A and B are shown apart, each in its own frame.
Chain A
Amino acid sequence: MTGTILITVACLVALGLLFAVVLYFVAQKFKVEEDPRIGTVESILPGANCGGCGQAGCHAFAENVVKAPSMEGFFCPVGGNPVMTKIAEALGRAVEEKAPMVAVVRCGGTLASRARTNEYDGYASCKVMATLYAGDTGCKYGCLGKGDCEAACRFDAIHVDPVKGIAVVNEDNCTACGACVKACPKGIIELRNKGFKNRRVFVSCINKDKGAVTRKACGAGCIGCGKCAKTCPFDAITVENNVAYIDFTKCKMCRKCVEVCPTGAIHEVNFPPKPKIEEKPHEENV
């Protein structure tokens, strides 16, 4: 009995030693030489592997940034400026500060302002729906509310609001990786400057139809009247194809456009409530 146990133990120990030696030599022989800086950079990166930087993942980003001569063209939207500064330090390079961005849903066509004209009964995916037809409202540009953006988001930062029926961004979680921008078949979502104190002014509509058509379909749509463009003191607003667009690089956030917009299509977010003047309701129905 004891003999059997001893033999077993001896055998296993011998086997263990043998494998250890073999593994050691194999590890030596097939060692992969890698720039140690890649590991350093990768450890600084957030490790979300979201692909928001345009690379295949964090490791690929690290590899390519180390190979590249400068930091130009590399930006980790998740980590933002602090991470980029750290990487630049680690690589002994200079880096330009980039303004932080956030995803913005450019559709204000909530269930209240945009009547449903038919009922969609297919697979709940914006992509399937968009391939099939214009949508279940009169507006063929607006949010379909089936949540392809929600499915694409890795940071739990965008959700389809069941009451509003459109996608809503959670700014605290949004890293501006751009996954939702790619996922939206209607091209509604845009990455915009996060702005001072997260304050932003934007046109929450991309409807290119003529004013009357837009108005009929949705109470919150941009009718392309151009009042905002005329009011804007900084030339930040352009009206093209019956829809206004605010260039966030020029906008000084005076919010004059918000006041003149007849449909409430221009949204202002995170501003302190104005005294006296009531905040314009977005769901103004026509």
Chain B
Amino acid sequence: MKKTFRIGGVHPHDNKISAEAAIEIFPAVETAFVSMAQHLGAPATPVVAVGDKVKVGQVIAEPSGFISGYVHSPVSGTVKSVGPRADIAGNLVPHVEITVEGDEWLEDIDTSDTIVKEIPYTPEEILDKVKKAGVVGLGGASFPTHVKLAPPKDKKAECVILNGTECEPFLTSDDRIMRERPQEILIGGAIMMKALGVTRGYVGIEENKPAAIASMTEAAKAFPQFEIVTLKKRYPQGGEKQLIDAVIRRQVPSGALPIDTGAVVQNVGTALAVYEAVQKNKPLIDNVITVTGKCLPVQHNYKVRIGTPMSKILEVAGGVPEKAAKIISGGPMMGRAIANLDAATVKANGAILLLTDEETRRRPESNCIRCSKCASACPMGLEPWLLNKLSRAGGMYDELEKERVFDCIECGCCSFTCPAGIPLLDMIRISKAEVMKILRSRPKK
């Protein structure tokens, strides 16, 4: 029987209309805008000045804290400016603007297609290489990968789970890389297993990607330490906690870290980035971005250098159709609506999705009919209707804490499923932020 997680979940239409579009190399741009906040944690500190010449792969910013990361130049050229620029939400974030001149790579980067299977490095060397390459989790949270590969001393990792679920509707970038570069992904996984000192590995893939499953299974014949696990199609299977539950039947207790179950989850895209970082010395400077939407005549999967403006990508993809009403960075369930199309891509961008008004417009809110569909859908076993009520009452933070609002993973199942169109997640999100603030300010025992 196919595995899946045990609580909640919904079944949105998967709409994988771009699955058959092979990865295309996105043409070079004239100017790249590289954000300094491409990872969870503190923004990186730029180490280049205006007028500096940079090569592809050169470090242009260094981490400014433990949870932070390196940023590399995705292009070669001259630094035009260093300063604030608006991100997709319109908020100002430090950027380095580089005028592109040619495509000159750093010498030690292996740009060939040869697959390097042997891993001659010690775990420390791997961690260092991953860190220096600026690899972050490409599943969406952009958590620095080297931090995740170095669990606290008292925690013991037992297995690595590669996340190839891609449970968000529309997205196909992980599907494509699993079809096109299965070996590299598995080597990347093996590198991470070596870094963690574990011998068991899984790749979780949802059943709606048979081609990816076939290609990964074929590749895994050379990697006996990996088991390809076919999972039922169900959102949010790609959530870290849900995936651990689905694959190894362990649930992360409230307040604990996923590592407490012994599992380290990494996205397949991250595995590929780790492979390139460790075996090819190539830092994370590009990623595969799905450009899709029912209103687009042609769907694409582009390999795009980081720092390319979204508007440029859409232009190359054929322009924004008149019908498109909302453009989303990411999938329709957890992606972020883009307010500023001039914003540039960052490491964790996986998709640009165009939705029409009918597809995305929220319906007017009506009374809660207490159908409890939200509670059935919540993968964390919370009661969104109750959290919504408490949140609207205002100031009920003790009750919200008791109802474990902080466990919410913001997957959107509740809002998705609500027949009355109540913005449950909107309300939960603001009270979650308040409760987290209170929890953090509380002295630790």
Contact = CB atoms under 8 A, between A and B. Distances in A.
**Do A and B truly interact?**
yes
Interface of A: 117-118, 121-123, 125, 127-128, 131-136, 140
Closest 8 CB pairs of A and B: A134-B90, A133-B89, A123-B426, A123-B423, A128-B426, A133-B339, A118-B339, A134-B91
B339 A134 contact: yes
Given A121-B362, A140-B91, 16 more contacts: A117-B339, A118-B339, A121-B361, A123-B427, A125-B426, A127-B430, A128-B423, A128-B426, A128-B429, A131-B429, A131-B430, A131-B433, A133-B91, A134-B86, A134-B89, A140-B92
A123, A127, A128, A136 — most chain B CB neighbours (10 Å)? A123
Contacts of A123: 423, 426-427
Contacts of B427: 123, 128
Contacts of A134: 86, 89-91, 339-340
Contacts of A125: 426, 430
22 contacts: A121-B326, A121-B360, A122-B362, A122-B426, A123-B426, A123-B427, A125-B426, A127-B430, A128-B423, A128-B429, A128-B430, A131-B430, A132-B89, A133-B89, A133-B337, A134-B89, A134-B339, A134-B340, A135-B90, A140-B90, A140-B91, A140-B92
Interface residues of B, number: 19
Nearest to B362: A121
Contacts, number: 42
A138 to B, nearest CB: 8
A220 B94 CA distance: 27
A117 B340 CA distance: 9
A135 B91 CA distance: 9
A117 B92 CA distance: 16
B72 to A, nearest CB: 27
A123 B429 CA distance: 12
A132 B329 CA distance: 13
Contacts of B430: 125, 127-128, 131
Nearest to B92: A140
Instruction: Identify whether the interface residues of A are mostly helix, strand, loop, or mixed.
Output: loop
Interface in B341-355: none
A131 B337 CA distance: 13
Interface string B72-93: 0000000000000010111110
Contacts of B89: 132-134
A228 to B, nearest CB: 25
Contacts of B433: 131
Nearest to A134: B90
A135 B90 CA distance: 8
Nearest to B88: A133
B423 A122 contact: yes
Contacts of A133: 88-91, 337, 339
B85 to A, nearest CB: 11
A135 B86 CA distance: 12
A125 B430 CA distance: 10
A127 B360 CA distance: 22
B89, B92, B326, B339 — most chain A CB neighbours (10 Å)? B339
Interface in B318-334: 326
A121 B89 CA distance: 14
A117 B86 CA distance: 14
A136 B340 CA distance: 10
Contacts of B88: 133
A182 B6 CA distance: 42
A285 to B, nearest CB: 21
A140 B85 CA distance: 13
A140 B89 CA distance: 10
A217 to B, nearest CB: 10
Contacts of A140: 90-92
A132 B433 CA distance: 12
A121 B339 CA distance: 12
Interface string B84-124: 00101111100000000000000000000000000000000
